[in-house]
Amino acid sequence: MAEVFNSPPTFTANQWEKKGRFYEVLGKEIFIIEKGDHEECLFILHGYLTSSYDYYKVLDALAEKYRVVIPDIFGFGLSEKNANHYTTIITQVDYLVELCKQMGLQQISILSHDFGIALGQELLTRDNAGLLNIDIKEFIYCNGILPIKNSYFLDIKDYVKKEVATKIITMLTTSGFFKKKY
């Protein structure tokens, strides 16, 4: 088991960059990884101080069932950095909404971790206010920074669908998957 945590990265930053591409979003360069040719889109929002690379070991498995889109959030990973400017969650979500528009994403399931949960909550808030032209099919969050009982959006039960959450959790936690991948 220790080998899983001590194993060296599979890809260098240059190799990972070749697997993705950049979009110019509201004047900023945003890096994305996209894999899978399915109608259902899984839009993954990574955690604080990390990147799309967090998902390199599960990307292929997820892409067997979903069109997987993982942006490096502005200021993280291979996306453009802006050291002289504080970027708010509101601005980060503006980038994500524009990215979805440019990619033609009309319906997404969001899988978010850590900092990505705050971004997902803002997306839900905009959706609840009728300000979002994207259908959020479900919202799945892991290891969050904002407890759901303290969230400021309504009707989260409409977004968290047991069926998709169960599929993803099963895919990521079965012993056969771990034996195969690790």
In a domain, 159, yes or no: yes
Query: How far is residue 128 from each of residues 136, 155, 173, measured CA to CA in Å?
Result: 10, 9, 32
In a domain, 141, yes or no: yes
Which range marks the domain in which residue 50 is found?
17-181
In a domain, 5, yes or no: no
Closest to 169 measured CA to CA, from 42, 49, 33, 71: 42
CATH number of the domain at 114, please.
3.40.50.1820
Q: Which two tokens stand for residue 115?
A: 């900092």
Question: CA 52, CA 43: separation in Å to the nearest integer?
Answer: 11
In a domain, 153, yes or no: yes
36 against 170, higher pLDDT? 36
Surface-to-core class of residue 130, CB atoms within 10 Å of its CB (0-12 exposed, 13-18 middle, 19+ buried): exposed
* Distance from chain centroid for Cα 91: 16
Q: Where are the alpha helices (DSSP H) in 25-88?
A: 59-63
In a domain, 155, yes or no: yes
Q: Are 97 and 122 in contact (CB under 8 A)?
A: no
User: How much is the CA Rg of the chain, to the nearest whole Å?
Assistant: 16
pLDDT (mean) for 13-31: 95
In a domain, 2, yes or no: no
* Distance from chain centroid for Cα 147: 18
Domain tally, the chain: 1
State pLDDT tens for residues 149-181: 555 544 444 444 555 665 666 666 555 555 554
Q: Which two tokens stand for residue 106?
A: 């009309």
Q: Are 108 and 135 in contact (CB under 8 A)?
A: yes
State pLDDT tens for residues 39-86: 999 999 999 889 999 999 999 999 999 999 999 999 999 999 987 778
In a domain, 6, yes or no: no
